Amino acid sequence: MSKREIVSTRNAPSAIGPYSQAVRGGGMLFLSGQLGIDPASDKLVKGIGEQTKQALENIKAILEAAGSSLDKVVKTTVLLKDMDNFNTMNKIYANYFPKDFPARCCVEVRKLPHKAEIEIEAIALCKEDV
């Protein structure tokens, strides 16, 4: 049986509910959805572009805290409040995943916590498994 380990970093926002930033188990790292909250101010940044960038920076920080990295991400899920923001999100997302893209699902949702425009979750390989 695989060991389950909680991953946490101050370089990403604290959980706003009963969940962990990430959990490592079975050679995989499962990241909870990240909003565009700046961990330094604990405030949601403004606009879809800045929120996308901050959510991905938060993911990057959690991955690094776990000894992983963006190039180890195998799957993301993007939740958009408005699918009209898809192109803006996609351009910024491509800067973080420029090649060998992870699998991805993107859906429009009615509402996100803190009235956010976007939430992104990720699944990655643990460093020792790649």
Encode pLDDT of 36-61 as tens digits: 999 999 999 999 999 999 999 999 99
CATH number of 5-129: 3.30.1330.40
Q: Is 105 a catalytic residue?
A: no
Average pLDDT over residues 14-42: 95
Q: What is the pLDDT of residue 46?
A: 97
Give 79's strand partners: 107, 119
- pLDDT, residue 3, reads 87
Q: Is the pLDDT of residue 1 over 90?
A: no
Inter-helix orientation angle 48-65/86-96, to 10° = 30
Catalytic residue, chosen from 92, 106, 123, 125, is: 106
Residue 56 carries which side chain, given as an amino acid letter?
L
pTM value?
0.94
pLDDT at 16: 84
